[in-house]
Amino acid sequence: MKKKLLLLATLGCSICWASTYATTITIDLGPPGRVTGGKIVSFSDPSDLQLNGQTVSLYLVFSGNGFVRLFKSTNSSFLLLPMLDVFGAGTINNPTGSGYLFDKAGNPISSVTSFGGSVTTDPGGEAFPLSLGGFFPLLPDETGRLGEDGLFPLDIYGAHLDITMPNGSAFDVTGGELGLFPNASQPWHDHFQIGDVPDSGCTLPLAFFAVVLLFSLDAPMRRCPQSQRQPRP
């Protein structure tokens, strides 16, 4: 009897483990730079990620120790949106579950996540992005906490997702994308940064302008008679 119970317990654990799919997807954000407006980055084809109702533990990490930097002036509705490129015909639900963004040390950054909804395609088949969940790192979560306790700049090094994929045998995963969207109408709120960007890009033109201005003032001063430049007693 004990052997039968042990066998059933082992089988049950095996089934639970088999239903969970864990993987890491590395994303190249591109060269460092300041970004105004949205940015979409494609990542490698996760063709082994099936849509059969399985539970997925998914890590999205940025290659080369890259990160996304948000500023205090970045719009508070900034959206980080991982998506799968899918092709198929019919209706498919979005994944459901939870997730978080994390910092350089791997610590969770407080954020709001949204899941749910569905997509209906043309009868002949259609390619479309399937959202894995939207992250809003600059909005407070249910506890009132803001990412990194409201400190800026806020650096995001990746995302972790624990989700259940939809049952969609008529759909195939063909690739993936990461969307970075400030969702701002004013240009001063519509920016963020990829990686470290040297400040020399702004300071060098200013220094050059100062030198030119100095020389332009120096020439008239030299032409001015010495007597006119002497202070009166």
Residue 144 DSSP symbol: S
pLDDT of 205 above 90: no
Amino acid at 159: A
What is the per-residue pLDDT for 225?
A: 55
Q: How many CB atoms lie within 10 A of CB 86?
A: 22
Contact criterion met (CB below 8 Å) for 165 and 95: yes
pLDDT, tens only, 130-164: 999 999 999 886 655 666 666 899 999 999 999 99
Which has the closest alpha carbon to 101: 144, 143, 138, 126?
138
Tell me what the pLDDT averaged over the chain comes to.
80
Predicted pLDDT at 16: 40
Chain segment 22-65, per-residue pLDDT in tens:
889 999 999 999 999 999 999 986 757 889 999 999 999 999 99
Residue 231 pLDDT > 60, yes or no? no
Q: Can you give the pTM of this predicted structure?
A: 0.75
Q: What residues are paired with 118 via a beta bridge?
A: 93
Take residue 208 and report the two structure tokens written for it: 């050059």
| CA 193/CA 224 separation, integer angstroms | 49
